[in-house]
Structure 1
């Protein structure tokens, strides 16, 4: 699968370059402006730096915003982070246009996915009896995603090990059914082809932070 995934990633990059040639006003994945872009840091402290970098990469594609934790699909803001907003917003573009989505927060959780994963990974036990009561605070959004990605039983493979082995393309492929903008899903966007570059950038930031804390 690794070889096929890499071929797919190269094909996606080639398509992005072709699109840029046809439309020079579009942002190219090789545009130097990408180098200075810094996806918002995580609120949660600690955790695996490779998983943290992956989280920031996912949110860069799914909720590319300076304040991603309060973002609702369509651009509105969550005013109450005590729970998932569960607001179904009409989809205006892409393969699901005409439907609606409850996607919200830094990782664009739809309500059912948040309920399912918060049940297993949310650090607040007070919400176990009513999933929607789980706090949707930024640190809790981060914690649920970190522990979910860090659970090899959830994905059938240890994503942290793949990342340490340099298999980012494989990881994005595995995650694309869940986060459909990662380059292999049904909603690839103009940021998808730049995710490897973004990941390497934020990974260095996360590793540097670990080194600084160790002194």
Structure 2
């Protein structure tokens, strides 16, 4: 009777450990299957992601090569009106607002890393634009103080401006202001070009990375 009980216990232990091993093998198989399916899903998503990257690269490339060629120095992002107000050009609105907004439509469908690139790019562009406008406004404020003082009503009056333009000091200060804005436009174009060039470079590397992943 003792030996029968012992055989029963041994059989029970073997069955117990067999069940554990079988369950572990099944679990491993399920995990491997899930991982394999996830890899297939990621790989299936790659062509769409690459397409979005290429769309963004195409947009950025055209801007860098054609629109933001800073060597020419001909772009005007801010100008001074005849009533001595700062006016943003359509180029300013396009490169600090419209283009970043359009690029979001592609970046958001790539991955989290690419979207973080976009957010940093957008922030840098907006900050650059704000600095340009702030510097322009401060210089204009100095110009007003040095020519007519703090009387903004007289300054904005068209008749008074025409009269002031006959003043030599006023003309010299106006020329100085124009030179300042010209310099600001050139520096802004250069900095903007570098921001666009930087994200184009980062996105090109991301594009190469995803193409390599297609081979796995």
Quickly name the TM-score band, shorter chain normalised.
under 0.3
TM-score normalised by the chain length of structure 2: 0.22
